[in-house]
Amino acid sequence: MSTECQIIAELLEELCKQKEHRFPQKRQPLDAPKSHGVYIIRSNDTILHVGRTLRGREGLRQRLTDHLRGNSSFVRDDLNGQGATLRETGYTYQFLERESDRERALLEALATGTLCPKHIGTGCK
């Protein structure tokens, strides 16, 4: 395995070991940094979504807030546009901060392929 592949595989292990955070109740702050990274959204022990930050000054905090507000294809397609559903018991998120655009892209791809492969393919569910 190439060095880059090893690094990304190690980052996936690290991502999966990160603390699981509950989504905040309404008007409560989201516990996520403004840096960029890759994240996992779960419902109980089921992984629902893997994502990464692409741009934006607020990084992970902004992307996870977008989900809460229903401003994502994940929420639109999988939660019927109801981002507030994430505030319910059992929904959590994990994240791993990464500065490198390439590492984020590769980590998201590996995490999606490993943890929720149904989301890879033709774009159909």
Q: Please give the full DSSP string across 18-80, using - where no structure is assigned.
A: SPPEEPPPTTSPP---SS-EEEEEEETTEEEEEEE--S-TTHHHHHHHHHHTT-SHHHHHHST
Question: What is the structure's pLDDT at 117?
Answer: 79
- For residue 52, pLDDT over 90 is answered with yes
Domain count, the chain: 1
In total, the chain counts a number of residues equal to 125
What sign has the CA pseudo-torsion 9, 51, 104, 14?
A: negative
| HSE-CB of 108 using CA atoms within 13 angstroms | 21
Q: Indicate whether 123 belongs to any domain.
A: no
- For residue 123, pLDDT over 60 is answered with no
Average pLDDT, the chain: 92
Domain holding 66: CATH number?
3.40.1440.10
Q: Indicate whether 125 belongs to any domain.
A: no
Q: Indicate whether 46 belongs to any domain.
A: yes
Q: Indicate whether 70 belongs to any domain.
A: yes
Question: What is the structure's pLDDT at 57?
Answer: 87
- Decide: 114 and 16 in contact? Cβ < 8 Å: no
Q: Indicate whether 124 belongs to any domain.
A: no
Q: Indicate whether 39 belongs to any domain.
A: yes
What average pLDDT does range 8-27 have in this prediction?
96
**Phi (first) and psi of residue 108, to 5 degrees:** -60, -45
Question: What is the model's pTM?
Answer: 0.91
Q: Indicate whether 73 belongs to any domain.
A: yes
* Domain that residue 80 falls in: 3-118
Cα distances from 107 to residues 10, 12, 34, 45, 115, in angstroms, run 10, 6, 19, 20, 11
Q: Indicate whether 50 belongs to any domain.
A: yes
- For residue 122, pLDDT over 80 is answered with no
Question: What's the pLDDT tens digit per position in 88-111?
Answer: 989 999 999 999 999 999 999 999
Question: What is the structure's pLDDT at 120?
Answer: 72
